[in-house]
Amino acid sequence: MHVVEGAPLGAAELSRIDAYWRAANYLSVGQIYLMGNPLLREPLRPEQVKPRLLGHWGSTPGLNLIYAHLNRIIAARRQQMIYVTGPGHGGPGLVANVWLEGTYSEVYPRISRDETGMGRLFTQFSFPGGVPSHVAPETPGSIHEGGELGYSLSHAYGAVLDNPDLVAVCVIGDGEAETGPLAASWHSNKFLNPAGDGAVLPILHLNGYKIANPAVLARIGDGELDALLRGYGYEPYLVAGDDPEAVHQLLAATLDTVFDRIAAIQHAARDGGSTDRPQWPVIVLRTPKGWTGPKQVDGVPVEGTWRAHQVPLSAARDDAAHLAALREWMLSYRPDELFDAAGAPQPSIVDWLPTGELRMGANPHANGGAHPRDLELPDFREYGVKAGDTAEATRVLGGWLRDVVKANEKYRNFRLVGPDETESNRLGAVLEATDKVWEARIDPVDQHLGPHGRVMEILSEHTCQGWLEGYLLTGRHGLFSCYEAFVHIVDSMVNQHAKWLKVTRKLSWRKPIPSLNYLLTSHVWRQDHNGFSHQDPGFIDHVMNKKAEVVRVYLPPDANTLLSVADHCLRSRNYINVIVAGKQPEPTLLDIDAAALHCARGLGIWDWAGNDDGEPDVVLAAAGDVPTLEVLAATDLLRRHLPELKVRVVNVVDLMRLQPTSEHPHGLPDPEFDAIFTTDRPVIFAYHGYPWLIHRLTYRRTNHPNIHVRGYKEEGTTTTPFDMLVLNDMDRYHLVMDVIDRVPGLARRAAVLRQQMVDKRAEHRAYVRRTGEDLPEVRDWAWNRPA
């Protein structure tokens, strides 16, 4: 690893940067411990220590050190910069820094930059009604919570895509670096274009420890770590030490060098036409965990060990020795030199800091984006398919997305991400307008790869998700297309993003961000050549646990409804939109205008399919493309064999409509729900996913006892499309049996039909096992009743 020689800081600069660092450390410790006496100008009493000490010290001095030195770089170079805190548990550090630079008090005027404000700053931290212990949406300048470790680097990369003037400095915990998502995201440098994108400076924070263990990367030796980082395509710079003065000089010299290096790489690509993939710099910062904290507590070493992770003097309120040690620790930062009589930071500490939007807490990229704009969306109606025509829904969508890419090319604010599935998911038309971005070697056999593409494919759903989140959080737009089953890999990341959105909705100063849009295709019912491993519709259930104000789930039944839903989602902000749609050839059920109306309503009675005249004997409902066709096929059978039976067909696109208005803003009012689903007739509901979800959503409805749901019952395998339905009892024959079983008085009258349905299922079973394909009457079935 490179070690940069030199001592660029003069005495005055060294002294003020060290004073700033001490101030940030003092404010961090104060937040963790104190609820009174913030400047320690009187003796510290036990009741001035919080009764519950909740926070993390160990990571914090390192985070503060980096922040201090980045301020120097920003001020000297007027560099646009954001700070991504991988170890988000170092929350007090980031709050301390944005308070020092002044942004905190601008956003939260109660927390002024004086003794009163400092007292409130300390008390509110990790305190009921206050702010969380981690870097949070409440922290100005943050786009990354960091509570769940692993996503910092992909967020940082997402933030700088198409932001050529921005540098995202990303502090990565050495523990965090062990996570799968973080490990995969080093490869983001093969997707970052030095001409059109900004830069990420990863700083691997090698403080040596996690909660109770050493970190792997801290124990493999410099040679191996150097080889690892070089293997990932980076050029490592080492900053190591435990003497503050020496580390200040080394870090300053190293940052000067790496920012020169970043500028040189960008210059070569932007002005020199270089197309080589650069070896971007990475800094390895090896300083003690809990540096400047208590060296020993109760006779055991703390500074420089895993014991510094949380709260080193855990009995400060009850134990006089701990209390005295706390006071001594805080006074070691010499607060009298740092804060003036009123409790404001001394001018020498803050007068050299970046100002205005150059402050990392105030950078507009970290709050909705520097240049947010809505997408230009071509009129989806012009891409509609004629009703009755067969279409692959996602292929039709691909044509529209291609033109979305074209229409927004000059604004550079739209990206499509996915794990190697754009073509497989039949969105390949976008590649007529753009490439899949690729900065590594391109061979003659490759197709549609190039250094500037709008499509980003890496076989790490985590990295895809992280990139897209970073991109959205900085005000741009995107879509994640994924196999339905494997999107579960990012369940946990979705949780975190949903939390972020929930909290930001209550922060008036946070600007809305474009929605996180998923297109889940290659779904459970049509995993024809992959089978059981690829069959899982449970992501919808997962998402439905989140706050109603944040999540939306759409199940468009055909190509035209998919177009309408996608248009809606790409216009929206602050949501997580999940669209589930098939890619296989299927009939187009609604013309484009009817599709738009149906989607605007979210659900509706398909009077052209039923014959109920307002007095149904049974309601056949469907949500999802495959269930919708099955319901239509069952309706067809019923109308042929039991023409006197009054069948109502209902289709649901927006799953949230099923909930009461009290539960979700999209909820259908009870009278409307009762009018559509009746209050007393059986409802046979064919649903795309696990059936219990429909019960969860409708359990408060009057007619809930009569709602019977068919869906995926975890019966999957590699078999024919119709056999999948039979295995899960959602086939048309079973739906007819369900109707016969549920409609009062029908069992006896329709006993023969029911028996025929049982026989059909047996016939089907034998046929597919003999021939390998579905019965001709199933394969060739089409809705051919006049509307």
Binding site for Mg ion (CB under 5 A): 173-175, 207
In the complex with ligand TPP, the residue whose CB is nearer, 209 or 383, is 209
Residues 6+ apart with CB under 8 A from 721: 525, 526, 528, 584, 626, 774
Nearest to 145 by CA among 415, 371, 466, 438: 466
Q: Which does 311 bind (CB under 5 to 8 A by kind): Mg ion, ligand TPP, none?
A: none
Helix (H, G, I), strand (E, B) or coil at 71: helix
Nearest distance from C-beta of residue 585 to Mg ion, angstroms: 53
- What is the four-CA torsion angle of 212, 213, 214, 216, rounded to 10 degrees? -140
Q: Enumerate residues 270-309 that contact ligand TPP by CB under 6 A.
A: 289, 309
From 205-213, 248-256, 474-482, 718-726, span contacting ligand TPP (CB under 6 A): 205-213
In the complex with ligand TPP, the residue whose CB is nearer, 89 or 415, is 89
Phi-psi region of 169 (alpha: psi -120 to 50; beta: other; left: phi over 0): beta
Nearest to 67 by CA among 36, 99, 45: 99
As a whole number of angstroms, the distance between CA 305 and CA 132 comes to: 25
By Cβ distance, which residue is nearest to ligand TPP?
173
Residue 331 touches ligand TPP, criterion: CB under 6 A? no
Residue 148 touches ligand TPP, criterion: CB under 6 A? yes
Nearest distance from C-beta of residue 143 to ligand TPP, angstroms: 18
Residues 6+ apart with CB under 8 A from 740: 746, 747, 750, 753, 754, 757
Nearest distance from C-beta of residue 281 to ligand TPP, angstroms: 21
From 41-49, 144-152, 656-664, 680-688, span contacting ligand TPP (CB under 6 A): 144-152
Nearest distance from C-beta of residue 301 to Mg ion, angstroms: 16
Instruction: For the chain, report the end-to-end CA distance as a whole number of angstroms.
Output: 73
Q: Which of 22, 89, 261, 688 contacts ligand TPP by CB under 6 A?
A: 89
Q: Which residue has the tokens 């919080």?
A: 50
Cβ atoms of 534 and 485 within 8 Å: the answer is yes
Binding mask 307-326 for ligand TPP (x = CB under 6 A): --x-----------------
As a whole number of angstroms, the distance between CA 377 and CA 567 comes to: 7
Q: Enumerate residues 170-199 that contact ligand TPP by CB under 6 A.
A: 173-176, 179
At position 211, the amino acid (one-letter code) is: I
Residue 21 touches ligand TPP, criterion: CB under 6 A? no
For residue 701 the two structure tokens come to: 């409805």
Cβ atoms of 273 and 308 within 8 Å: the answer is no
As a whole number of angstroms, the distance between CA 431 and CA 16 comes to: 53
Q: Which of 132, 150, 194, 293 contacts ligand TPP by CB under 6 A?
A: 150
Q: Which of 20, 209, 339, 687 contacts ligand TPP by CB under 6 A?
A: 209
Burial per residue of 360-369, b for 16 or more beta-carbon CB atoms within 10 angstroms, e otherwise: bbbbbbbbbb
* Other Cβ atoms within 10 Å of 718 Cβ, number: 15
From 201-209, 223-231, 362-370, 509-517, span contacting ligand TPP (CB under 6 A): 201-209
In the complex with ligand TPP, the residue whose CB is nearer, 179 or 535, is 179
Q: Which does 149 bind (CB under 5 to 8 A by kind): ligand TPP, Mg ion, none?
A: ligand TPP
Q: Which does 58 bind (CB under 5 to 8 A by kind): Mg ion, ligand TPP, none?
A: ligand TPP
Q: Which of 59, 103, 434, 527 contacts ligand TPP by CB under 6 A?
A: 59
Instruction: Report which secondary-structure segment, H or E, holds 446.
Output: none
Q: Which does 176 bind (CB under 5 to 8 A by kind): ligand TPP, Mg ion, none?
A: ligand TPP
DSSP code at position 277: P
Nearest distance from C-beta of residue 146 to ligand TPP, angstroms: 8
Nearest distance from C-beta of residue 89 to Mg ion, angstroms: 10
**Residues of this chain that bind ligand TPP (CB under 6 A):** 58-59, 87, 89, 147-150, 173-176, 179, 205, 207, 209-211, 215, 289, 309
